[in-house]
């Protein structure tokens, strides 16, 4: 049977302490797994942080990783987020040089893909896009064609569609 | 009332009923040691910090309580790392208190500064760096709670010098210690299912592991096993949880397990594993492990479930509530295993045991197994045996025939040479009225031999039995069997005179070089008050058998020349 490596998302609720990220990263690295993306921020309770991690693993491995995460003292809860019950989104900021000839295609991209201009300087703009992984891959391809200078991309954030 | 950090630390230790610290002073813990001077708590001054952590570990293993060690920052802290990893692998509850440079200095490469919480993050159950005196009391209490709860393990608390020196007016919080963990709510359902599987079994077998000893579940385990007459095999860490003198005892399984134990595992149709994690030294080739058996796995750590061996039924619970529930349910329902259902299986096991008991050939040299047999005889099997790591460790496991829990203190997971002597110190401090013996090899004993100084200092009556073959015996054995007898760097002929060395420490030294001297030396050693080092010059190239080559099924055991005798 072929090993089913797939990108899988985990939600980890942790105590907001200085070394908690190191502990979580260590749990992955100790078993030889790479964190594909990570995003973290405080929750309603500022002493508690929610971390969304995506990783490329098999189903057996993800189960084991989650058990190991739950064993960490500062982890309050670690669990899988399964699609399609959960929505997964990312965000990019992209810096584009402004030229007359590309203005039209840029305007079209912003309008059709729900982009936002967050900074406008003479000669360059920073645009913001959100979407799922596939959306953003496509948007990035088009931005490259428009001469994108640099970009920054967040990790995945995810949320279940309804209370389970 | 004004209190210093040091005073708060000792208050917390007192609240945890700590009676002994194993430690070594240094610059960053001077204030703690100054406060210690005024306190009534006992402190054992070791000769190396590795000795302190192993002694705390041995104390915990022998007493079932949390062991505590106190060391300074930097090298003091790093010297404990091997011992911390050792306790982590064997799930031993210890609290390690380390000094640290003042908080303002942290990160500046100060004198004797090391990021010990970073270094030990992956070999502690948890660790803390205390940055404020306000957190000190709660953190120390929490460290003990974490160390002993769930699957136990080592917890490190790093104490910056300024936190310890600072003074607070604040009242200590009334730390709420969480209530003891309850069994899982569905324990009854799972246990009912387990009993259903048991009643259908024709060849049931139970593996007992270190979790039964750590969970203080030996008694209920024995009652349950005897009620259903289930044969028992044990892991290395489980030795003593079930008496080796019981007719249901089938032996230790694994690489150097008994023939009967490895055969039983390989032929049973139901395997109940209690408090085990299926270490590769126990299972050997996993694909060939218990091939005919349905497996029930009882363990407190969900991580160990389905990690190595796939189970048919998992019960994530402390051993005691799980076994209690199994016992109670079977009582209530009047369940038993009918004699005729398991008669053939019990006969088969008897036959395996008779066919190939643990054995060895005698000749004109001292056989190491013989020394252990005599030691067992002369101590009536009631000594606490600490070991180092290697051949002597396996012979102690095979031939001491443990009947009681908390009596075999051995580095099972990490395999730490140099563990036994300091562990024996910890055990002797915890159990002053027991006979404590460190069974050692000539290689291992030299790894923490400085602790003879500690034994002499406190007059601890630890008996050290060195099975001296002038080799790193287990390395030599592998080289003989798997590396074409190329004895690369395993020759230890250049050894000290252990008798004179003992005497240099002010300890009695005895030696035996012939089989007929063994009994007399052991007798004299055991009867002499105070510490004794006994140096037994044993057969140099004796091997540990049976032996399962790593990566092969448990049924493929090599017996050396033992078969001829049996």
Examine the fold and report which residue of A81, A103, A135 is the final residue of a domain before the chain moves on.
A81
Query: Which overall architecture, per CATH, does domain B368-544 show?
Result: 3-Layer(aba) Sandwich (3.40)
**Is there a domain that residue A1 lies in?**
no
The number of folded domains in chain A is 2
For residue A58, the model assigns a pLDDT of 85
Q: Quick one: which of B372, B394, B87, B420 has its CA closest to B254? A: B394
Answer yes or no: do A49 and A74 share one domain: yes
Angstrom distance (rounded) from CA B504 to CA B158: 37
Count of alpha carbons within 13 Å of B454, Cβ hemisphere only? 28
DSSP B520-534: HHHHHHHHSSS-EEE
**Beta B436-441 vs B408-409: how paired, if at all?**
unpaired
Domain boundaries, chain B: 3-168, 187-355, 368-544
For residue B566, the model assigns a pLDDT of 35
| Contact (Cβ atoms closer than 8 angstroms) between residue A126 and residue A93 | yes
Answer yes or no: do A10 and A74 share one domain: yes
B297 pLDDT exceeds 90?
A: yes
Model confidence at A3, pLDDT cuts 50, 70, 90, reads low
- Alpha-carbon B375 to chain mean position: 20
Residues of A in contact with B118 (CB under 8 A): 19, 22
Answer yes or no: do A52 and A97 share one domain: no
Torsion angle, alpha carbons of A89, A95, A101, A103, to 10: 50
- Alpha-carbon B378 to chain mean position: 23
> In 3-state terms, what secondary structure has residue A131?
strand
Answer yes or no: do A72 and A128 share one domain: no
Contact A73 B301 (CB under 8 A): no
Average pLDDT for chain A: 92
For residue B176, the model assigns a pLDDT of 61
pLDDT digits (tens, 9 = 90+) for B144-201: 999 999 999 999 999 999 999 999 988 777 666 555 555 566 899 999 999 999 999 9
> In 3-state terms, what secondary structure has residue B43?
strand
For residue B237, indicate whether it is catalytic: no
**Domain CATH code at residue A118:** 3.30.70.1150
State how far the alpha carbon of B17 is from the alpha carbons of B10, B12, B148, B152, B275, in Å: 10, 9, 13, 18, 27
**Is there a domain that residue A55 lies in?**
yes
Q: Under 8 Å CB-to-CB from B566, ≥6 apart: which residues? A: B355, B356, B357, B359
Domain B3-168 has CATH 3.40.50.970: yes
For residue B171, indicate whether it is catalytic: no
What is the predicted ipTM? 0.87
Angstrom distance (rounded) from CA B445 to CA B309: 35
* B404-430: average pLDDT: 98
- Topology classification of domain B187-355: Rossmann fold (3.40.50)
For residue B474, indicate whether it is catalytic: yes
| Contact (Cβ atoms closer than 8 angstroms) between residue B219 and residue B173 | no
Which long-range CB contacts under 8 A does A115-121 form with residues at least 24 apart?
A115/A139, A118/A93
Contact B303 A30 (CB under 8 A): no
For residue B175, the model assigns a pLDDT of 60
pLDDT digits (tens, 9 = 90+) for A44-66: 999 999 999 999 988 888 888 99
Q: Does B302 touch chain A (CB under 8 A)?
A: yes
DSSP B112-156: T---HHHHTTTTSSEEEE--SHHHHHHHHHHHHHHHHSSS--EEE
What residues make up the domain containing A41? 6-81
Examine the fold and report which residue of A42, A63, A81 is the final residue of a domain before the chain moves on.
A81
Q: For residue B122, give the nearest of A30, A64, A70 by CB distance.
A: A30
For residue B183, the model assigns a pLDDT of 54
For residue A34, the model assigns a pLDDT of 86
Answer yes or no: do A96 and A74 share one domain: no
Contact A71 B146 (CB under 8 A): no
């Amino acid at each position: 049977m072929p090993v089913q490596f797939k990108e899988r998302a985990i939600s980890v609720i942790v105590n907001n302490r200085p070394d908690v990220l190191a502990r979580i990263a260590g749990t992955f690295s100790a078993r030889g797994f790479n964190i594909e993306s990570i995003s973290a921020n405080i929750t309603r309770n500022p002493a508690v942080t929610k971390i969304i991690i995506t990783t490329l693993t098999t189903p057996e491995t993800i189960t084991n990783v989650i058990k190991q995460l739950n064993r960490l003292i500062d982890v309050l809860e670690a669990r899988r987020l399964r699609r399609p019950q959960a929505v997964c989104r990312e965000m990019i900021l992209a810096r584009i040089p402004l030229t007359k000839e590309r203005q039209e295609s840029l305007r079209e991209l912003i309008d059709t893909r729900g982009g936002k201009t967050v900074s406008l300087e003479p000669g360059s703009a920073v645009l913001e896009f959100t979407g799922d992984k596939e959306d953003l891959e496509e948007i990035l391809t088009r931005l490259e064609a428009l001469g994108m200078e640099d970009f920054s991309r967040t990790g995945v954030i995810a949320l279940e569609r309804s209370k389970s | 009332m004004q209190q210093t950090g040091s005073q708060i630390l000792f208050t917390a230790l007192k609240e945890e009923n700590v009676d002994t610290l194993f430690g070594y002073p240094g610059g960053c813990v001077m204030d703690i040691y100054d406060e210690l001077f005024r306190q009534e708590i006992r402190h054992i001054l070791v000769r190396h910090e590795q000795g302190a952590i192993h002694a705390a570990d041995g104390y915990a293993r022998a007493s079932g309580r949390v062991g505590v060690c106190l060391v300074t920052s930097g090298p003091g802290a790093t010297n404990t790392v091997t011992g911390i990893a050792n306790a982590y692998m064997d799930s031993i509850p210890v609290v390690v208190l380390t000094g640290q440079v003042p908080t303002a200095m942290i990160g500046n490469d100060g004198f004797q500064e090391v990021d010990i919480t970073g270094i030990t993050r992956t070999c502690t159950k948890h660790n803390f760096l205390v940055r404020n005196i306000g957190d000190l009391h709660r953190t120390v209490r929490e460290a003990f709670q974490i160390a002993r709860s769930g699957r136990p393990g080592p917890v490190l608390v790093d104490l910056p010098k300024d936190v310890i020196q600072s003074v607070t007016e604040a009242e200590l919080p009334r730390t709420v210690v969480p209530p003891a963990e309850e069994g899982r709510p569905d324990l009854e359902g799972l246990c009912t299912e387990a009993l259903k599987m048991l009643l259908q079994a024709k060849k049931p077998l139970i593996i007992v592991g270190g979790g039964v000893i750590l969970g203080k579940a030996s008694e209920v385990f024995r009652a349950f096993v005897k009620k259903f007459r289930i044969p028992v095999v044990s892991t290395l860490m489980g030795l003593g949880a079930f008496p080796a003198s019981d007719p249901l005892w089938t032996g230790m399984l694994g690489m150097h397990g008994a023939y009967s134990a490895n055969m039983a595992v390989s032929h049973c149709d139901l395997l109940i594993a209690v408090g085990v994690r299926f270490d590769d030294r126990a299972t050997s080739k996993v694909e060939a492990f218990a091939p005919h058996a349905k497996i029930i796995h009882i363990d407190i750590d969900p991580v160990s479930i389905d990690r190595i061996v796939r189970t048919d039924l998992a019960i994530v619970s402390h051993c005691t509530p799980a076994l209690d529930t199994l016992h109670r349910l079977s009582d209530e329902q009047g369940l038993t295993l009918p004699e005729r259902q398991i008669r053939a299986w019990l006969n088969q096991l008897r036959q395996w045991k008779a066919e190939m008991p643990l054995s060895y050939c005698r000749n004109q040299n001292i056989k190491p197994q013989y020394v252990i047999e005599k030691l067992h005889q002369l101590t009536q099997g009631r000594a606490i045996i600490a070991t180092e790591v290697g051949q002597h460790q396996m012979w102690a496991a095979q031939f001491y025939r443990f009947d009681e829990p908390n009596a075999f203190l051995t580095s099972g997971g990490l395999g730490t040479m140099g563990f036994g002597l300091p562990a024996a110190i910890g055990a002797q401090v915890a159990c002053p009225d027991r006979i404590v013996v460190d069974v050692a090899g000539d290689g291992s004993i030299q790894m923490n031999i400085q602790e003879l100084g500690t034994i002499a200092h406190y007059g601890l009556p630890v008996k050290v039995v060195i099975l001296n073959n002038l080799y790193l015996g287990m390395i030599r054995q592998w080289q003989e069997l798997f590396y074409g007898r190329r004895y690369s760097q395993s020759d230890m002929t250049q050894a000290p005179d252990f008798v004179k060395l003992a005497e240099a420490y002010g300890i009695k030294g005895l030696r035996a070089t012939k089989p007929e001297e063994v009994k007399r030396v052991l007798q004299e050693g055991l009867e002499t008050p105070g510490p004794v080092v006994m140096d037994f010059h044993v057969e140099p190239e004796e091997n540990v058998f049976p032996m399962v080559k790593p990566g092969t099924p448990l049924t493929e055991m090599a017996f050396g020349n033992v078969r001829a005798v049996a």
